[in-house]
Chain A
Amino acid sequence: AQSVTQLGSHVSVSEGALVLLRCNYSSSVPPYLFWYVQYPNQGLQLLLKYTSAATLVKGINGFEAEFKKSETSFHLTKPSAHMSDAAEYFCAVSGGGAQKLVFGQGTRLTINP
């Protein structure tokens, strides 16, 4: 079985500041890990994914995440926040056979001008 814990349901940063969204996972097999973003009244959009290749993964819109097996973490970062980054972010893990994605509770990111 697999699970995801996102630390902090709400994160607020100033425009231009570092964005750090935390995700810890649990999986009985080597995991595949994903970050999705959801803008208001829209579906989820893939930001990036880790599938056992490079541990530092670069995604769209300047986001990146680092897989740390020893810490069972997959935190999402962006060096400089932009107003357009305000959204809900979901970490997800796939540890099973036929791609069963399990999502975390989500972190709402607010950008202050």
Chain B
Amino acid sequence: EAGVAQSPRYKIIEKRQSVAFWCNPISGHATLYWYQQILGQGPKLLIQFQNNGVVDDSQLPKDRFSAERLKGVDSTLKIQPAKLEDSAVYLCASSPRAGRDSPLHFGNGTRLTVT
């Protein structure tokens, strides 16, 4: 099966600019996640979708970050305006269901550098 697809792989922007990341999960996977991985740290959950509804966005900085999952398939994550501390790898993951034992399948991530 095809894996989780993310684009772009790399993005460099200046602070206060906006940026968007795209994710296409594995076909049939109902649950989709966006994680932020800062250099030297473990991934931190930003938002979790079940189909096209938000399950958990408690750690999403809503003043600047937004995410949507139209039609319960693809998802986009946007940052506007970006800050220096947003430099990180943004990982998208999907799983067949939301159960605790259902493993996550990760994409290769988008590396964002904010200058």
Residues of A whose CB lies within 8 Å of any CB of B are 4, 9, 32, 34, 36, 41-46, 49, 51, 90, 92, 94, 96, 98-106
Closest to A94 in B: B100
Q: Looking at the complex, which one of A94, A98, A105 makes contact with B56 (CB distance below 8 Å)?
A: A98
Q: How far is the CB of A37 from chain B (nearest CB, A)?
A: 11
How many chain B residues sit at the interface, stated as a range, is 20 to 34
8 Å CB interface, B83-106 against A: 91, 93, 95, 98-106
Q: How far is the CB of B7 from chain A (nearest CB, A)?
A: 13
- Which among B11-19, B36-44, B62-70, B74-82 touches the partner chain? B36-44
Residues of B whose CB lies within 8 Å of any CB of A are 4, 31, 40-45, 48, 50, 55-56, 91, 93, 95, 98-109
| A34 vs B93: C-alpha distance when bound (angstroms) | 15
Closest to B111 in A: A41
Q: Can you list 14 residue pairs at the A/B interface with Cβ under 8 Å? A: A41-B108, A43-B4, A43-B108, A44-B93, A46-B103, A96-B100, A98-B98, A99-B48, A99-B98, A101-B45, A102-B45, A103-B44, A105-B40, A106-B41
> Which residues from chain A contact B43 at a C-beta distance below 8 Å?
44, 90, 103
